[in-house]
Amino acid sequence: MLTRSTLGMMHLMQPLQLLICVLATLAILTLTACTTPRGITSHPPVTWAIALHGGAGTLDRTAPLEELAAYRVSLQAALDVGRERASKGDSALDVAEAVVRVLENDPRFNAGRGAAFNEKGEHELDASIMDGATLQCGAVAGVRTVKNPVSLARLVMTQTKHVLLMGDGAEQFADAMAVERVPNSYFSTERRRKMLDEVLRERAAVGPRSDAAPRNPRTTYGTVGCVVRDTHGNLAAATSTGGLTGKRFGRVGDAPIIGAGNYADGYAAISCTGTGEEFIRHSVARTVAARIAFGGQSLEQAAHTLVFNTLKKDDGGLIAINAAGNIVMLYNSEGMYRAAADSTGWQTVAIFEDDTK
């Protein structure tokens, strides 16, 4: 802006000097108004964004190519559902629930159909969902006949004053809500049965200690999850799992524990996968958001600290999204089934670190 003192100085200048001064001032004003600040990209702002995972317990790189390709097809199918709904302006909660339902219905993942067996050869499923705009949340643990546990978790959030229902109580609540039910055998797959047999053989060889770590975590852990930033700027997270293969004594992991395996607020939405006990001990999902809110860290800095400094190698990973629509998908295991997209047209589907699609 040309101030009164500046105009007074100009009055004393010669005409040529005055012209040069005016041109220089206009140039400075133009550059100030038009130049993009350092560190800020000039691409269109993100209006919606979505990330999902199918667990950090992945196939290894020696798996048949057609099997790896089938997982990528499943991830793409779930991503397509999320992209379509997010682009239409659906709420973050609706999108997250819809995507997790797709993953729960896919027998390749350890959630819903395809869930891990417990030690008795049965299935006990866990799920949670959280609205970052309101901090409302709901969860269920140890359900046995609910086809889509994530939807029952949402009903806990919307239809009760509670956060977490478990076991027989959660099943009774499902009766009251008239959600779709299936026999426990619906969740069974031959692949998961073989994993249980492997764990039981190993357990018989080393003794029945329930806290003994599996030799091959890749075959025992698994979760699905989705995080969303919607067109209104709201965040949500949803997570679902069949739990640990061969689990005993009603074991519950981090997936239904708000703040451990699933969390959303105004800063970030996070869904985790891996060794549930470690994610519970370190309140991983909540801590990512807290590092942003109270520590001033970026989403990537906060997530990186938890995955690579707090957790141990092969503990697993997480997906996270912030209010700007930035996405991180980090893991310290061999791979993580994952996919993401946003409103700019960018998308990715990957399993291992060097995947490029």
C-alpha 278/C-alpha 31 separation (Å) is: 51
Which H, E and C letters describe the chain, residue by residue? CCCHHHHHHHHCCCHHHHHHHHHHHHHHHHHHHHCCCCCCCCCCCCCCEEEEEEECCCCCCCCCHHHHHHHHHHHHHHHHHHHHHHHCCCCHHHHHHHHHHHHHCCCCCCCCCCCCCECCCCCCEEEEEEECCCCCEEEEEEECCECCHHHHHHHHHHHCCCCEEEHHHHHHHHHHHCCCECCHHHHCCHHHHHHHHHHHHHHHHHCCCCCCCCCCHHHCCCCEEEEEECCCCCEEEEEEECCCCCECCCCCCCCCCECCCEEECCCEEEEEEECHHHHHHCCHHHHHHHHHHHHCCCHHHHHHHHHHHHCCCCCEEEEEEECCCCEEEEECCCEEEEEEEECCCCEEEEEECCCCC
Degrees (nearest 5) of the Cα angle 47, 48, 50?
160
Q: Tell me how far CA of residue 55 lies from CA of 63, 133, 153, 209, in angstroms.
A: 16, 26, 19, 25
223 catalytically annotated? yes
Catalytic residue among 219, 220, 223, 245: 223
Residues annotated as catalytic (active site), given as ranges: 223
